[in-house]
Structure 1
Amino acid sequence: MTLTTASVRTAAAAVCARDGADVAGLSRAELLELSHDLAGLRRAVDVALAQVAAEVDRRSAPADGSAGLAAREGFRSAGELIARATGGSVAEARRLVAAGELLANAAVEGAVFAPPSPLAQVRVALARAVREGALSVDAAAAFTSAMAGLPDTASTRDLFAQALSKAPGLAIHQVRKLVWRAQALADPVGWEGREERQYGERSAGLREDADGMVTLIARLTPLDAAPVRAVFDANVRWAMQQRRDDPTSDTRTPWQMRADILVDLCRHALDCDQPTSGVKTTVVVRMTREELAAGLGVGEVDGVAQPVSASALRQAAADAEVIPAILGGASEVLDWGRGRRLFTTAQRLALVERDGGCAWCNAPPSWCEAHHIKWWERDAGMTDLSNGVLLCTRCHHRIHRDGWEIEVRGDGAQGGVVWFTPPRSVDPARAPRLGGRERYGIAA
């Protein structure tokens, strides 16, 4: 594949134009522009580096033995050679190789096959997004890994096309959530097998450090981690709420709180006559009624990034500590007008179904509270779904402080779509920005 450096030169010129500038003296707009230019330069360099890394890997094939490029340079693998050159990790080097192979193979698929197969069409579009700087090398590697071994069908293509359309501008952990969901929906049986392998790899252990502290190391399946996360999040959130009322009531960090919760739980297990913290925790699993009955397809657990197979969710829903949110059945009254100040549990479950967590940053539902869009007191706002939105504390305060507007449009599959309109100080055109599950989710 031909190496082109035009994008690197263009991005470098934009950065070098500010050579000698005092970063501390830049205006807000200048600082943001410089940050954008530097990120563009990094992506452009990564594209070139990925191409070179893929060629280094090709010349270091295990079949070449000691004659391979990496072996001749004294390295056990191409990953180690590339990591030494970049100063990064072997895992990062592998992602560069994967992206470089994508760029090379997509160029061939797009030119030779007419028309390309469904998944080849996604790879061609993915490679274009990487070359144009819309997507990072790490994001491309996440897509490539997720698509490996999936059925090469129009359905799979459509799922990953959805993910690709939403990926630009997202952080890598949010991109992974998109591709995991697309992967699970494209091959539910294969996803269930993945869960079985994860279950076989679960582990936990304690290790004494040199300074006398003890480090706990655990690897849990997403479903097994759900109750642990629920207990941690509920207790930390409760402690933070107490701190808002009395700032001196608890000076611990969230990390210290989680450590104390774990120790208290284990102490309680030694003597179950001792009372618990009293903070109620639940795990909410979500699937359609048809999936629950058939045991096919995938659903989700609030606060867990990866989708979970319907068969695993059926087992979880049988647990007394788990609330199954069965979608599509008879529902409770979800609009209370002015008759109720706080959103009910049923309304909160419905808001989580619509927003997926924080409607702005996609933080887990356990970090969020249901807020009135039109304030209860100031605007006489109703306690209805159309006037409710899930926001974490940080986003709630920032949106109100900076003057953002929130609107729920239409009814939609999950009760409407959340839009955020920025103030003119952020965007003079005040172009609305999509939020909630529609921004971060993938539909089958």
Structure 2
Amino acid sequence: MGQVGFGCGRWSSSTVGVGLLAGVSGTEDNDHMFDSSRVAMAQATLEGALEMPVALADGAQTRAALRTAQEMADRLEGWRAQLLNQLDETAGYADDGAPSAVAWARGELRLDDRTTSRLRAAGRTMRMLPGVGAAMAAGEIRLDHVAAFTGALRRIDHEVLVDATEGVLLPLAKQAPPADLRKAIDRVDELVRPERAVKAWEDGMDKRDIKLARAGEGFHLTGFLDVELGARLRSFLIGASSPRSQGDCEATDDSVCGGRKDLRTAAQRRADALSELLDVAAAGGVPSDRRLRPQVHVMVDADWLDHEPGAAPPELEGFGPIGRDLYGYLACTGDHTEVLTDGVTGGPTPFAAVLNVGRTRRLATAKQREAVRARQRGHCANPGCRHRIADVHHVSWWRRDGGPTDFENLVGLCRSCHMNAHAGRLEITVDGAGGFVFMRRFGASKREIDDRERLNRRRLSDYLRELGTVRVGVRPKGPTVAGPQGVTADIRSAATARAMATAPVTAPVTAPEHEAEVGDVTALRHLRRHTLTPRT
């Protein structure tokens, strides 16, 4: 490896990370040996890069160096995980008199036991899932992604997980944060083990508790809430703890939030909302946000109600997928709203025309707002934004462009993205396929924001439908459908699913009693939304 020079009075981006990454990465000549001298060379290169004065880096150099530093850190974390797993597998710790790899790392590396166990498990996962190991070594995923795969190995059959990893999970991990990967793994787990969601609900009810203990000048509140109660409390706190303006305080005679801006932290607002709940509960009312009572929303696809294989399970807003039993309980106590999101109405008129009002009114109707919320799952449409929908915006503006109040021209945005759209920093257009294209403007230039999340959701949905073709009707506490050779639940891979998908179904599927008729879902696909008002 050539020499690298560093100037004392300048910053050189070309020196950052090149030698280090080359030193750690293997080559064809060293595939069958471990060369310790290369580790020393990589260390020397890193030390040279760290000597450069960070204060002299301009904006472009800082961003480039941060990207390189992140890649280096990710790759080194993967390397460290592999080394700890190797130390554990070969009992190399014994040469230093340590009883275990965890004890050795505690004494030699000053790592706590939890960190060592996590790294060691990650190294094992990288070995059991070679594609994950290669992606980690290349800096394409992070340690948190590997940890998600580690959890998946404990729950999902290895052969099924390998197929899912190669087909959809690893490409998703390379583009999405670990939280999205964990959700996708849960979807795969729900398909191959549908009883898991039911057991999770039942276990959650058994664990529920609240503890209130005296702590210093106040009380310390801890506990565990089951899915349904936790979702209701979360919905209430979100609605009742929104920041208040001067007008809100005067209207409610509230002295807590004086001034033009609410200076309370989010945690303080939630505590005040809980106090307000206690004050008004006896009167039979609840605090509200913009005159709307807090609600819990459950989204369920008609395909799931019709037992389509691989259909997405019901999703409780603020929590995630839920099982059939909890869905039945919530559906029994909630209001039902059917929302058209895809397909046609049975004739030549597209589904959106049912909701369109054109130029007859400026603001979106209640039905349109519900449809927008259902289409976007309650989140802002701007790719990467996880905030809740606050406003419904005309893509072609009502006044400036003469845009109609039609469903395909309406997009749900959070408050910040809505303001950026009107300030000219965010440009939105219709993509012609039921979605939107977002462009971020930088002065005279603009750049499209990749909507990777929507692409990844579609890819995952397609994969699960393919995987579930021989699992039609396999639901907890419900009827099952027998496939070829009596196969009902032992699906091994997507290849098996593809081979068996064309075989005739030998038993009919009937819906549970609590499910309503959904009609001809081949002609009309929609979401059934259950809107639940929290009880107090």
* Structure 2 CA distance for partners of 1:31 and 1:85, relative to 1, 3 Å: farther
For 1:226, the aligned partner's letter is A
* Structure 2 CA distance for partners of 1:81 and 1:18, relative to 1, 3 Å: closer
1:286 CA displacement: 1.1
Contact 2:125 2:149 in 1 (8 A): no
1:99 CA displacement: 1.7
Q: Give CA deviations for 1:225-265 in whole Å, capped at 9, x if unaligned.
A: 21111111122347379679996263322211111112222
Contact 2:389 2:414 in 1 (8 A): yes
- Say if 2:293 is the partner of 1:276: no
| Root mean square deviation of aligned Cα | 4.1
Equivalent in 358, 366, 373 of residue 337 of structure 1:
358
* Structure 2 CA distance for partners of 1:289 and 1:400, relative to 1, 3 Å: same
Task: Tell me, in whole angstroms, the C-alpha distance in 2 between the residues paired with 1:350 and 1:126.
Answer: 38
| TM-score normalised per structure 2 | 0.64
Question: Which residue number in structure 1 is paired with residue 51 of structure 2?
Answer: 19
Task: Tell me, in whole angstroms, the C-alpha distance in 2 between the residues paired with 1:243 and 1:69.
Answer: 67
Task: Tell me, in whole angstroms, the C-alpha distance in 2 between the residues paired with 1:266 and 1:86.
Answer: 51
Question: Which residue number in structure 1 is paired with residue 373 of structure 2?
Answer: 352
Question: Which residue number in structure 2 is paired with residue 112 of structure 1?
Answer: none
1:434 CA displacement: 1.3
1:323 CA displacement: 6.4
1:283 CA displacement: 1.1
Say which SS state the counterpart of residue 239 (structure 1) adopts. Answer: coil
1:399 CA displacement: 5.6
1:82 CA displacement: 4.0
Task: Tell me, in whole angstroms, the C-alpha distance in 1 between the residues paired with 2:189 and 2:143.
Answer: 19
- Say if 2:415 is the partner of 1:393: yes
Question: Within 5 Å, which residues of 2 pair with 1:23-34?
Answer: 23=55, 25-34=56-65
For 2:391, the aligned partner's letter is E
* Structure 2 CA distance for partners of 1:151 and 1:223, relative to 1, 3 Å: farther
Equivalent in 413, 433, 440 of residue 450 of structure 2:
433
Q: How many pairs are equivalent?
A: 406
1:38 CA displacement: 0.9
* Structure 2 CA distance for partners of 1:71 and 1:87, relative to 1, 3 Å: closer
Say which SS state the counterpart of residue 217 (structure 2) adopts. Answer: coil
1:34 CA displacement: 1.3
- Say if 2:264 is the partner of 1:252: yes
Task: Tell me, in whole angstroms, the C-alpha distance in 2 between the residues paired with 1:341 and 1:127.
Answer: 54
Identity %: 23
Task: Tell me, in whole angstroms, the C-alpha distance in 2 between the residues paired with 1:177 and 1:225.
Answer: 19
Contact 1:403 1:423 in 2 (8 A): yes
Task: Tell me, in whole angstroms, the C-alpha distance in 2 between the residues paired with 1:11 and 1:375.
Answer: 57
Question: Which residue number in structure 2 is paired with residue 114 of structure 1?
Answer: none
Question: Which residue number in structure 2 is paired with residue 289 of structure 1?
Answer: 302
Contact 1:233 1:366 in 2 (8 A): no
Task: Tell me, in whole angstroms, the C-alpha distance in 2 between the residues paired with 1:199 and 1:43.
Answer: 39
Q: Which shifted more, 142-151 or 235-244?
A: 235-244
- Say if 2:197 is the partner of 1:191: yes
1:355 CA displacement: 2.7
Task: Tell me, in whole angstroms, the C-alpha distance in 1 between the residues paired with 2:235 and 2:160.
Answer: 37
* Structure 2 CA distance for partners of 1:290 and 1:45, relative to 1, 3 Å: closer
- Say if 2:329 is the partner of 1:315: yes
- Say if 2:353 is the partner of 1:300: no
Q: Which shifted more, 419-428 or 274-283?
A: 419-428
* Structure 2 CA distance for partners of 1:176 and 1:439, relative to 1, 3 Å: same
- Say if 2:229 is the partner of 1:215: no
Task: Tell me, in whole angstroms, the C-alpha distance in 2 between the residues paired with 1:14 and 1:284.
Answer: 51
Question: Which residue number in structure 1 is paired with residue 275 of structure 2?
Answer: 263
Question: Within 5 Å, which residues of 2 pair with 1:10-89?
Answer: 16-17=48-49, 19-23=51-55, 25-58=56-89, 73=98, 78-79=101-102, 82=105
The answer for unaligned runs of 5 or more in structure 1 is 61-66, 106-122
Q: Which shifted more, 280-289 or 295-304?
A: 295-304
Question: Which residue number in structure 2 is paired with residue 420 of structure 1?
Answer: 438
Q: Give CA deviations for 1:145-168 in whole Å, capped at 9, x if unaligned.
A: 124332456698348732322222
Say which SS state the counterpart of residue 340 (structure 1) adopts. Answer: coil
1:69 CA displacement: 5.0
Task: Tell me, in whole angstroms, the C-alpha distance in 2 between the residues paired with 1:38 and 1:214.
Answer: 43
Which structure carries more relative contact order (alpha carbon 8 Å, separation 6+)?
2
For 2:230, the aligned partner's letter is A
Say which SS state the counterpart of residue 429 (structure 2) adopts. Answer: strand
1:203 CA displacement: 2.8
Question: Which residue number in structure 2 is paired with residue 110 of structure 1?
Answer: none
* More helix by percentage: 1
Task: Tell me, in whole angstroms, the C-alpha distance in 2 between the residues paired with 1:70 and 1:198.
Answer: 46
Task: Tell me, in whole angstroms, the C-alpha distance in 2 between the residues paired with 1:44 and 1:78.
Answer: 21
Contact 1:337 1:382 in 2 (8 A): yes
Task: Tell me, in whole angstroms, the C-alpha distance in 1 between the residues paired with 2:44 and 2:328.
Answer: 54
Q: Give CA deviations for 1:254-313 in whole Å, capped at 9, x if unaligned.
A: 2111111122223444xx226432441111111123534769972212232x32123312
Question: Which residue number in structure 2 is paired with residue 133 of structure 1?
Answer: 139
Say which SS state the counterpart of residue 405 (structure 1) adopts. Answer: strand
* Structure 2 CA distance for partners of 1:417 and 1:230, relative to 1, 3 Å: same
Say which SS state the counterpart of residue 207 (structure 1) adopts. Answer: strand
Contact 1:368 1:390 in 2 (8 A): yes
Contact 1:79 1:93 in 2 (8 A): yes
Contact 1:102 1:127 in 2 (8 A): yes
1:142 CA displacement: 0.4
* Structure 2 CA distance for partners of 1:171 and 1:291, relative to 1, 3 Å: closer
The answer for unaligned runs of 5 or more in structure 2 is 1-22, 27-38, 251-257, 346-350, 465-536
* Structure 2 CA distance for partners of 1:290 and 1:213, relative to 1, 3 Å: same
Task: Tell me, in whole angstroms, the C-alpha distance in 2 between the residues paired with 1:395 and 1:81.
Answer: 50
Contact 2:155 2:189 in 1 (8 A): no
